Chain A
Amino acid sequence: MSIPIADHVRDIPKSGIRDFFEIVQSMADVISLGIGEPDFVTPWHIREAAIYSLEKGRTGYTSNLGLPRLRRAISDTVQRATGVQYDPLREVLVSVGVSEAIDVALRAILNPGDEVLYHEPCYVSYSPSVALAFGTARAIPTRAEDHFSLRADALEAAVGPRTKAVMLNFPTNPTGATMDRAQIEAIAGVCIRHNLAVLTDEIYSELTYDDREHFSIVSVPGMKERTIYLHGLSKAYAMTGFRIGYACGPNSIIEAMMKIHQYSILCAPIMSQDAAVEALERGEPSMLRMRREYALRRNYVVSALNEMGLDCFMPRGAFYVFPKITSTGLTSQEFSLRLLHEKRVAVVPGTAFGASGEGHVRCSYATGLEQIKIAMQRIGEFCVELRADQQARTAA
């Protein structure tokens, strides 16, 4: 006999990114703009802190909630970023990356059939994580005309009788979208009116450009008690492999999340937690240096893409641009596959991030400038060739 798979797991579709990854893996000399992690190696002083931790023989479990010193550093960091004070001993949980924190938060609050709203295009895990917690995920499409920000009226219209929570992710993977204070306050208003919980994934919140600091929904008065603030060190400090994320929220929620976390994960690795302390206490200059570099590359990529006729707004956050490719007459999937086969450049089809990503592709600029330059040249050639084809067909 074969072991039958649980229905709700079987029904989760395969990740579109996974398929694409397999194809790219099988090819040589590909320049990839398809990577969702920093190209920088973790700053040396942070790596050195992890080495020191191992040297000292720190190889055991930590408290389920995480090292108290790390929780204090997290509490201070969040307080500086949002103005909101979390008790490091009762309101902070250290997780294995933000992904685990999202999963645990959803499992802690959802009853079967509860509905969770999220804006789309979005990170690939949101909808499956809701399904795995026996909830119903409902996407609210965002639009290029709005620079992929979430409109309060769209949220209002989507709220139904079973809606329990809203998931936010600004700056957004894959669009680079950001929200200003007034927009966030309008969203908060809807949440308060309909008594909704908010899960805000703030993983890109340090990576904002043009001197526009990120404004978190938790900073809106009255939102702290209904918000689970989810963040981590992967993107800002180039620490993806360390797997350190965290959740801040009301004590009752953190306690509930801790029950799940302790039985499934126990705790995040101690040497990673030690490295995270170093990053939060002394890593700001390294983070700012990387952010400056991302900002320059973003300028380069946006101006190059617009010149070749792929419309692209100037995103103010994360390290992605999300150009519109409909002028080529191809779908996102066709564009990405042909670009890969004909020019050996990997971008991710917008549809990998939800149906509303059709007509766009995601290009990551977390890649060295030399690679970006070659990639832009190749995409430019690809567009010229596509247009010549289109004209030849029209003439014939």
Chain B
Amino acid sequence: MDALIDLLRHNPLMAREDVARLLGLTVADVNARIAGLERDGIIIGYQTVINREKWNPDTVTAVIEVKVTPERDGGFDRIASRISKFEEVQSCYLMSGGYDLLVLVEAGNLRQVATFVAEKLSTIEAVVSTATRFRLKTYKENGAFHHFDTAPERLAVSP
């Protein structure tokens, strides 16, 4: 199962016939296993990694460190889920260390991020403070490099 997940993580679009051949399974087996992983909530989505500097260079990505006051029942979960539901929020993690939640926000421009932080995030009662940092350039995203080295040469035939 790990080998199947490895393949799908790197290329969810790989033809099922190829996946089957690589794993020594039938196509029906592969489809059944994938359906199982989806049903069990192990695979929760498939996404495309986009080079935003090429596609839409004006898009803004911000990383926001959020300190919150946890609640007696449920700790951080309710606040985190409330923050996660905003459309601008791409990812939200509970962190160890100097702050509590790390929130990745994507928006069309700077003003939209500022509005989100000032009007939505900071006004939530449990939020104590926020620190917002903006992405300047992307080098690697979800395991994919944005700037590739050229492939090194190998001898065409070697013993």
Question: B-contacting residues of A (Cβ < 8 Å)?
Answer: 15, 17, 20-21, 24-25, 30, 32, 34-37, 39, 41, 123-125, 173, 292, 296-297, 299-300, 303-304, 346, 348, 352, 369, 373
Contacts and interface: CB of A to CB of B under 8 A. Distances in A.
Contacts of B159: 15, 17, 36, 123-125, 173, 352
Contact of A300 (B6, B22, B155, B158): B22
Given A296-B3, A296-B7, A21 B155 contact: yes
Given A15-B159, A36-B159, A123-B159, A296 B22 contact: yes
B153 to A, nearest CB: 11
- Pick from A30, A32, A124 the residue with the most CB of B within 10 Å: A32
B21 interface: yes
A24 B157 contact: yes
- Pick from B7, B21, B22, B157 the residue with the most CB of A within 10 Å: B157
A267 to B, nearest CB: 25
B98 interface: no
Contact of B157 (A125, A173, A348): A348
A303 B157 contact: no
B140 to A, nearest CB: 12
B156 A21 contact: yes
B22 A35 contact: no
21 contacts: A15-B159, A17-B157, A21-B155, A21-B158, A30-B156, A34-B156, A34-B157, A35-B154, A35-B155, A35-B156, A35-B157, A35-B158, A37-B158, A39-B154, A41-B152, A292-B6, A296-B3, A299-B22, A300-B18, A304-B21, A373-B18
Interface string B19-55: 0011110000000000000000000000000000000
Given A32-B157, A36-B158, 9 more contacts: A17-B157, A17-B158, A24-B156, A34-B156, A37-B155, A296-B3, A297-B22, A299-B21, A352-B159
A296 to B, nearest CB: 4
Nearest to B154: A35
- Pick from A125, A296, A304, A346 the residue with the most CB of B within 10 Å: A296
A196 B22 CA distance: 42
Contacts of B24: 299, 303
- Pick from A25, A37, A292, A300 the residue with the most CB of B within 10 Å: A300
Contacts of A32: 156-157
A348 B159 CA distance: 9
A76 to B, nearest CB: 28
Contacts of B23: 296, 299
A133 to B, nearest CB: 19
A299 B159 CA distance: 22
10 nearest interchain CB pairs? Answer: A34-B157, A296-B22, A21-B157, A24-B156, A124-B159, A299-B24, A36-B158, A300-B21, A17-B159, A32-B156
